[in-house]
Amino acid sequence: MSSSMTEIEFKFDIPRASLPALEAALRGPGSRRTHLQARYFDTPQGDLAAHGVALRLRKEGPRWVQTAKALGDGPVQRLEHNVDLGQMRKSAPLQADPARHADTPVGRRLAHVLQRAGTPLVEVYGTDIWRATQELQVGASRIEIALDQGRVLAPAPDGGLPRSAVVCELELELLAGDVRDLACVAAEWAARHGLTLSTVTKSERGLRLAHGRSTRPAVKASAPQWPAGSGFPDGATVQRAVVGACLAQILPNASEIAAGSEDVEQIHQLRVGLRRLRTALRELAPLGTGLEPAWEPPLAQAFRALGARRDQQQLQALMQPRLLAAGAPLIVLPPVDESAPTPADAVRDAGLQAALVGLIGFAAAADGTGLAPQATQRHLRQRLGKLHRRVGKEGERFEKLAPEARHSLRKRLKRLRYLAEFVGACFAPRRAAQFTRALEPAQDALGAYYDEVVALESYRAAAEQEPRAWFAVGWLQARAPHSAHQAALALTELAGAARPFWRKKKD
């Protein structure tokens, strides 16, 4: 017996203090407790994991089930195919057989990866989990809530004692019905128990153990994927695809930071993702219904909190060496404000978690009301054209603008670039890519200029307690006209290099 599906689920990490309440909540009528022991297989080089595919054998009670999983189209969607192998003799060898998933979407992806890898499968790690489950009926939707506690186990490279990591997570899976009902239940449980979204699967935990890693590299932005030859999408499709692409960058980085990582690049990429998402909410709201205004404030709050940490890192890692090279004395900056939220605090904030859950539900919804394709195309042309004209006009007189206007221009240039990256492939992929590349020098020059503006303000504030900071103030003030001029030159060159890709041929 086998089953194939697209799995939609939310996964949350559980604070230790919330565990007793969750255990109590899942002891009610209809709850079940199951012992799950699984073995995961991959190539020795980890080809399946590198392509977002997992293959496992799991003992569920007395029966064994082989499962193949792969990433789906959205942040909470997974392709899955299960094959019930029944009860097996203790002496029978346990080996995963990819052919059991033939002619299924996930099976075809599995076979493609293994064919390219050309190496046999080996067992790389296992799990030993006790799962408590309960099923909820919400309107016409059926939702399973599962509390998993146990360990992931991986053999030590030197043949010593196995490595292990604790698993304590809550999963909410849509068995049938509307993903928006799932999102509402997920938001309610997250708020009640202080849960934080996690994208780290048991499979990834096992791989980290096997390879001695504690975190994943920072995830960078990627453009939405549009089906080839399908014509210009309608407004609701554009909204969901763009929000989903933004979440694909935000959620993995946020998950690592919520777990305690202070990796500079993860923090930076999370900020980039939040900025892109806020641009999407602002620019794409007229295309359809469903984008809630209440999502913006917690996104902005997290962005500011992470920005304060980035500004301090910029001073320490980039500006201090430049000052020392210019002959500055060693400047001791004031310590971090202990009352300021840490990156983990910013990500665990209940408001941000609620907004992310709502946005995930929005991106995963199968329907939506929006503008027709022609009206969507017309609106995007107008927005791209307006942003482009404003950037060009203000860029011509950048050195004459007030500081606030310069900062607004920088933000407007970012919105233009992000919007072009979001929808460029819907118009003309090659010309859109050329356009966004042409924006990069001006964006880099404005970024360098603004970093010095922020540094000047920081050192001026520090000079009240650290007199040596006056050297930095004087040096940065002397550099300000040159930095502004460099930004102005880049903006002037932009006018001829960035050719609009959205105009009709007759324009």
At 507 the pLDDT is 47
Q: What does the pLDDT read at residue 506?
A: 54
Residues 180 and 250 placed together within one structural domain of the fold: no
- For residue 33, what are the β-bridge partners? 132
Rounded distance between C-alpha atoms, residue 348 and residue 346, angstroms: 6
Same domain, 193 and 329: no
R_g over Cα of the chain: 26
Q: State whether 210 and 245 are in the same domain.
A: no
Pick from 342, 356, 148: which is nearest to 259 by CA?
A: 342
In terms of domains, do 151 and 275 share one? Answer: no
DSSP H helical ranges for 35-75? 47-50
**Residue 222 backbone phi and psi in degrees, to 5:** -135, 150
> How many Cβ atoms are within 10 Å of 126's Cβ, its own excluded?
20
Question: Does residue 151 lie within any of the structural domains?
Answer: yes
Q: Name the residue among 28, 53, 157 with its Cα closest to residue 107.
A: 53
Do 242 and 203 share a structural domain? no
Taking 60 as the threshold, does the pLDDT of residue 484 lie above it? yes
Q: Across the strands, what pairs with 136?
A: 143
| Structure confidence at residue 104 (pLDDT) | 93
Residue 461 has pLDDT above 50, yes or no: yes
Task: Indicate if 58 and 122 belong to the same structural domain.
Answer: yes
Q: Is the pLDDT of residue 399 over 60?
A: yes
pLDDT surpasses 90 at 154 = no
Q: Within a domain: residue 225?
A: no
CA distances, 63 to each of 30, 38, 66, 123, 148 (Å): 21, 12, 10, 19, 19
Contacting residues for 376 by C-beta, under 8 A, at least 6 apart: 232, 233, 234, 235, 238, 287, 370
Per-residue model confidence as pLDDT tens digits over 416-442: 999 999 999 999 999 999 999 999 999
Distance between CA atoms of 380 and 425, rounded to whole angstroms?
12
What is the widest separation between alpha-carbon atoms in the chain? 81
The number of beta carbons lying within 10 Å of the beta carbon of residue 226 is 18
Containing H/E element for 297? helix 296-314
Distance from C-alpha of 5 to C-alpha of 69, rounded to nearest angstrom: 10
Whether the per-residue pLDDT at 339 is higher than 90: the answer is no
Give the SS3 label for residue 381.
helix
* Per-residue confidence (pLDDT) for residue 209, from 0 to 100: 84
pTM (two decimals): 0.89
CA-CA distance, 202 to 165, in Å (whole number)? Answer: 10
With respect to residue 454, please indicate whether it lies within any of the assigned structural domains: yes
CA distance 460 to 85: 70
Percent of the chain predicted with pLDDT > 90: 70
Neighbouring C-alpha atoms within 13 Å toward the C-beta of 370: 24
Task: Give the separation between CA 407 and CA 95, rounded to whole angstroms.
Answer: 60
Which residue range(s) make up the domain with 27?
A: 2-214
Task: Quick: pLDDT tens for 55-96.
Answer: 999 998 888 999 999 987 777 678 899 999 988 777 667 789
Whether 197 and 357 have beta carbons less than 8 Å apart is answered as yes
Is pLDDT larger for residue 201 or for residue 316? Answer: 201
Q: Is residue 504 assigned to a domain?
A: no
* Rounded Cα distance, 413 and 419, in Å: 10
At residue 5, the pLDDT reads: 54
Section 27-42 average pLDDT:
90
pLDDT at res. 151: 94
Question: Are residues 174 and 141 in contact, defined by beta-carbon separation less than 8 angstroms?
Answer: yes
- How confident is residue 207, by pLDDT bands cut at 50, 70 and 90? confident
Number of domain units in the chain: 2
> Taking residues 84-112, what's their average pLDDT?
87
What average pLDDT is seen over the chain?
Answer: 90
Confidence of residue 30 (pLDDT cuts 50, 70, 90): confident
Give the residue-averaged pLDDT of 261-277.
95
Residues 445, 311 within the same domain: yes
Provide the 3-class DSSP secondary structure of residue 169.
strand
Q: Is the pLDDT of residue 240 over 90?
A: yes
Domain presence at residue 330: yes
Helix (H) or strand (E) holding 81: strand 77-86
Q: Cα 419 to the chain's mean position, in Å?
A: 18
**Assigned token pair, 424:** 């460029």
Measure the CA–CA gap between 279 and 276, rounded to whole angstroms.
Answer: 5
Residue 32 lies in a domain: yes
**Tokens 């240039």, residue located:** 413
Q: What's the CATH number where 306 sits? A: 1.40.20.10
Residues 203 and 272 in one domain: no
We report the CATH number of the domain holding residue 182 as: 2.40.320.10
- Does residue 91 lie within any of the structural domains? yes
In a domain, 227, yes or no: no
Same domain as 158, residue 251? no
**Is residue 3 very low, low, confident or very high in pLDDT (cuts 50, 70, 90)?**
low
Cα–Cα distance list, 221 to 72, 156, 310, 311 (Å):
17, 34, 18, 21
For residues 16 and 187, the answer to whether their CB atoms sit within 8 Å is no
Q: How far is CA 60 from CA 37, 97, 121, 129, 317, in A?
A: 7, 18, 22, 10, 51
Instruction: Select from 302, 310, 365, 362 the least CA-distant residue to 336.
Output: 310
Q: Which residues pair with 143 in a beta bridge?
A: 136, 174
Same domain, 320 and 411: yes
Residue bearing tokens 């059991």: 100
- For the ranges 88-102, 227-241, 251-265, the lowest mean pLDDT is seen at 88-102
User: Residue 376 is encoded by which pair of tokens?
Assistant: 């969507």
Closest by CA to 156, choosing from 212, 118, 112, 202, is: 212
| Residues 359, 442 within the same domain | yes
Token pair of 219 as six digits = 């995830």
Asked if residue 325 has pLDDT above 50, the reply is yes
Please tell me which residue, 7 or 401, carries the higher pLDDT value: 401
Q: Could you read off the pLDDT of 158-199 as tens digits, one per residue? A: 666 778 989 999 999 999 999 999 999 999 999 999 999 999
Mean pLDDT along residues 304-316: 80
pLDDT of amino acid 318: 82
For residue 47, pLDDT over 80 is answered with yes
Q: Do residue 270 and residue 206 come from a single domain? A: no
**What per-residue confidence (pLDDT) applies to 106?**
94
